[in-house]
Amino acid sequence: MKAFKHILAFLSISFAQQSVPYEISNQFGYQLKNNLIEWNSDQKFDNILVDRSSKNFNNKFYSFNFDEFPTDSTFTKSKFTYEFGDYGFDVLNIGLKKNKETNSVQFLAGKKSFFGNYSEFSKEDGSPLSLFYKIDYATKIKSHSIYSSAGYFREKSNFQFNNPFGLDSSNNKEFSDFMSLTIGDSFKMNGYHYNIELNHISKFDSINITEYSLNNRNDLERNKLNIEIHNGNWLHLKAIVDNNHYKNEISSKGFSTNLISLSNRNNIAKGNISYGVDFLNNDIFPSLLINNSVGIFNISLKSFNKPNRVLNDFFSYEVLDEFSGNDLENWNDVSIAFTIDKKVSISSRFNYTQANNIAISQKPIEMSVLEDNEYLSVDDDMASLETNIAFPIKFGQFKITHNYNFFDSPISSNRSHILNFEYFYDLSFLSNNLGIKGKLGLKYFSENNSNYYFDYFRNIPVKGKSYTLDDFYNLHISTDISISDVVLTIRLKNGLYKFFEEDDYSPVTHELFNPMSSLLSFGIMWEFDD
């Protein structure tokens, strides 16, 4: 097996990555897109707005998709999934949707538990790592389509680390919860289409990490108004008013940020162009997006702005002119891609990204001395290449994806190669009443021995470290066995560790998190009609 590992390290064809986990349940980690770290960006959970301060959100909460049903029919649909596995892994999601011609209502709820290899995240009788409830209601009144959503999201974790300094981590904990509300109206009047949407977020964050001298308690109140007007031709105007108010509960200090964005989008011969301006603190910042396709090629040029990272610790409340969201980051991106979709499909995308005025942390030289990191505002860039090859084989398809990082940067994973070989299979029996489908994959992440890494707890890139993040290999198996409307699932993550424990298949991807083992889980998915 050791020889096999060395062979993998030199292969240049491989895997489309989505995230880098810090532990095998993937509750903690960071998101990647073609080797670019995605942080400090708002997200959507169906119609719900998720604030940019939420960490690794997509791996903590799951939604159901009811879009396969026609909106003009009357039906009642319910779904639930349940999955259990090693180390107290326990995931439950339920969903119900009632649809009529004039209105619909949908309810979703879910929770995720995982003790960890060493019960470092929670105890058996502890609360779930993540929990949420969400309800959606939509109705039609004459020419108006009115929609609304309300969601409550909660996270709670403990962190028992075997740190090298002998510090007591028994008080390490992280708690976050927020309520997010959305109400909107989409209608047509005088040949123009309108969509008016209001989002509100009330959020509380608390974190205490002894090893990092973190002890923060913060509140966020946020209101965001989106207005869109288009006529299906030359006009597609979008206006955003975004107000944020932050308060530190320990110091009782706070500050507000206000951002106004105006933009318009036009269709061009082979694509579209968007252009606009962002207003913050009496300053004006331009934005631009050009997307154009010619034959098998696609070219995209993007320049956009987003509020500077709010550090949400004591520093940001003491020095209000730095790292408190009162300045804008500027991101410039050039993307060149081509796609050949034949029996053998080949696609590749080159990305060059430049980030200006981003906040990063600089780690102290002596980590045995507890002190706050120094925060810096930097400009940097990265270049990456993603290549995909897919071709049919017996019972399915084989796919190879490779992500290559050209040089080290605080905004990238700094893993030169990320590899995945995946075999997708799909078989049906008994007149399609019995089916088996899934995938078998082998993933490889090369090591990160750069001077950068990503700090989950501060949710920020870090410069300066004295260790190397492991390369790691993940044999992953995902099988769904469908029997009528019931689906039985089998999942295996980091399978090489389970089969070859004598070799080093327990990677460490963060300086504090324990090595990852394997995770075997079983589950059931069930749908009910009416």
Confidence of residue 82 (pLDDT cuts 50, 70, 90): very high
- Give the per-residue pLDDT at 5: 37
pTM as predicted: 0.90
What phi and psi, each to the nearest 5 degrees, are found at residue 224? -135, 125
Q: Between these two residues, 299 and 34, which has the higher pLDDT value?
A: 299
Mean pLDDT, residues 494-515 taken together:
77
Cα 209–Cα 24–Cα 34 angle in degrees, nearest 5: 95
CB atoms within 10 A of CB 114: 25
Residue 23: what residue type? E
Mean pLDDT of 454-470: 88
> Using only C-alpha atoms, what is the Rg of the chain?
24
- Rounded to an integer, the average pLDDT of 78-99 is 94
Q: To which residue do tokens 């999201």 refer?
A: 153
Computed over every residue of the chain, the mean pLDDT equals 87
Q: How confident is the model at residue 204 (pLDDT cuts 50, 70, 90)?
A: very high
Looking at residue 288, its pLDDT comes to: 97
Across the range 24-51, mean pLDDT stands at 93
Per-residue pLDDT tens digits for 247-260:
988 888 888 999 99
Phi and psi at residue 509, to the nearest 5°: -115, 10
Q: What is the rounded CA–CA span in Å between residue 357 and residue 346?
A: 36
Mean pLDDT of 408-416: 95
Q: According to the model, what pLDDT value does residue 371 have?
A: 47
| Token representation of residue 135 | 């309800």
In the chain, what are the domain boundaries?
Answer: 2-529
Name the DSSP class of 327: S
Most confident of 198-202, 278-282, 326-330, 495-499: 198-202
The token pair that represents 284 in the structure block: 């004006």
φ/ψ bin of 107: left (φ > 0), alpha (ψ from -120 to 50), beta (otherwise): beta
pLDDT for res 318: 61
Quick: pLDDT tens for 285-330.
Answer: 999 999 999 999 999 999 999 998 888 766 556 655 567 778 899 9
Q: How far apart, in whole angstroms, are the C-alpha atoms of residue 145 and residue 195?
A: 9
pLDDT at 221: 97
| Beta-carbon contacts of residue 485 (< 8 Å; ≥ 6 apart) | 526, 527, 528
Q: What is the pLDDT of residues 342-383, one digit of tens each?
A: 999 999 999 999 999 998 988 765 444 444 557 888 999 999
Distance CA 88, CA 126 (A): 11
CB atoms within 10 A of CB 368: 8
Taking the C-alpha atoms of residue 37 and residue 348, their distance in angstroms, rounded to an integer, is: 19
Tokens describing residue 42: 């708002």
Query: 2-529 has which fold?
Result: Maltoporin; Chain A (2.40.170)
Q: Which residue has the higher pLDDT, 169 or 45?
A: 45
Token pair for 505: 């298949």
